[in-house]
Amino acid sequence: MLVTTGIVLAVFLGVTGVVLEQSFRHSTQESVRERLMAHMNVLIASVEEDEDGRMMIAYALPETRFFTPRSGLYAVIMKNNGDVIWRSPSMQGLHVDLHTGLARGSHRYELLEGSDGLPLLVFSLGLTWGDSVNSGDGYTFFVIEGLSRHHEQIRQFRTSLWGWLAGVSLVLLVMLALVLRWGLQPLRRVADDLVKIEQGQRADLDGVYPRELRGLTDNLNALIHSSLEHEERYKASLGDLAHSLKTPLAVLRGGVQQQGNTEEALREMVDEQVERMDQIVQYQLQRASTTGRRALMAPLNVPELAIKVIKALDKVYAEKGVKGQLKLEAAVEFHGQEGDLMEVLGNLLDNAYKWCRKTVVLRVARTGSAGRERMELVIEDDGPGIAENQVDLVLRRGFRADERTSGHGLGLDMVREIVALYEGELSIGRSVLGGALIRVVLPPK
């Protein structure tokens, strides 16, 4: 940023300097020309013809530089035939190639060089005396000024101008560097805090950051906490898996070592414990793969996913003649893992299809006030429902309300864990359709 700003500043101040220098040069040139014209008017006013028709200086010139040798201000009067009528004393020892023959009233400016090699600006004006308009009888008046002082003024101005511009540029760059250092200090602090997190010295970004960085730091903290939660959940799942497998393994080991067990009894015991271990493994794998809420996630279209699940279950339970209904009460988006939402919808709707008679309704709504809005999923069916004394039981791992119905009894427990991961709410009640009503409330982000 400093390099880019320095280049832009250099270009801007460089253009500014060139414009100012050209403006000053043009202004001084105009000033010189105006002075020469004023001297010309005074020179013409001081000249008269004598009785013999000769040109003479009748009145003394007020500018003393005309009478000081090599003063830088000169005047010459010449006839148009080339004869010099009068030369100012200041031109002593100086020769300039002047061009006569200007018509009456004509004037011009010329840049010439004197015999001493110095630059001169020559202002010439053609005149005739009396009523004559013949240029051959006329005169050419010259007022000449040396440009050495003029060029010295321009040089001094250029030196002063570019010196000040360079100083201003340096001051601006230093100030800009200080402002950038001050303005980017919060970012450096965030970077330092991230290094400390990587080194294990800190757990999160808990510093005081400006408003513009709070979105970044909050999302980074959410990402860090989410990663830690996932790591802890994987560890817990592995520990739970190892602990849960101890019992069926111990039963198997005891059954093998116990004397007198028949082959049929051993087979039943192995089948039972393998089934049990299969349930445990499936549950723990499902639990470990549950992602939960993460920061910086794209929103999911909830109605679109719900329609997919309903259409799939309509086909699965086609023989039963169940038709699921989706009632969308508000446009809802959910910031989370698609697999988690599909797990919730799939388990709850599958249970509803399994226990209903003919009707399953899924309502998607938005609850809460502005700034605290939450997504609400309500699944209802017209089945037998869930008795109040079994509400807590059906949420337990492995419990099945009806042992004759296929399943492992893990679905509602998985839903409960996913809802808890998203800091949501799960409740079970009685539907107006006569069956169960399960309400899930999740934060949209």
Mean confidence (pLDDT) of the chain: 82
What is the average pLDDT across 116-145?
82
370 pLDDT above the threshold of 90: no
Task: Supply the angle between the helices 338-355 and 302-316 in degrees, to the nearest 10.
Answer: 40
Q: CATH topology of 2-153 equal to that of 299-442?
A: no
Q: C-alpha angle with apex 55: 52 to 61, nearest 5 degrees? A: 140
Question: Is residue 409 very low, low, confident or very high in pLDDT (cuts 50, 70, 90)?
Answer: very low
pLDDT band at 296 (very low <50, low <70, confident <90, very high): low
2-153: which CATH architecture?
A: 2-Layer Sandwich (3.30)
pLDDT for residue 380: 93
**The pLDDT of residue 262 is above 50:** yes
pLDDT tens for 61-76 read 888 888 988 888 999 9
- Please give the structure tokens belonging to residue 298: 């794209």
Does residue 289 register a pLDDT over 70? no
DSSP assignment, residue 291?
A: -
Fold of 299-442: Heat Shock Protein 90 (3.30.565)
pLDDT-derived band at 165 (thresholds 50, 70, 90) equals very high
Report residue 53 as tokens. Answer: 């028709």
The pLDDT-based confidence of 280 (bands split at 50, 70, 90) is: confident
Is the predicted pLDDT of residue 408 greater than 50, yes or no?
Answer: no
For residues 186 and 209, the answer to whether their CB atoms sit within 8 Å is yes
Helix spans in 143-209 (H):
148-183, 185-198
51, pLDDT greater than 50: yes
**Mean pLDDT, to the nearest integer, of 207-236?**
79
Distance in angstroms (rounded) separating the CA atoms of residues 400 and 381: 18
Give the CA distances from residue 103 to residues 134, 140, 145, 152, 199, in Å, rounded to whole numbers and listed in that order: 8, 9, 23, 35, 94
CA 399 vs CA 49, 273, 275, 308, 419: distances in Å: 136, 17, 15, 28, 19
Residue 240 has pLDDT above 70, yes or no: no
**What percent of the chain is predicted at pLDDT more than 90?**
21
pTM of the model: 0.48
SS3 205: coil
49 pairs with which residues across the strands?
Answer: 55
Of residues 34 and 396, more confidently modeled: 34
Largest CA distance in the chain: 166
Q: Where are the domains of the chain?
A: 2-153, 211-289, 299-442
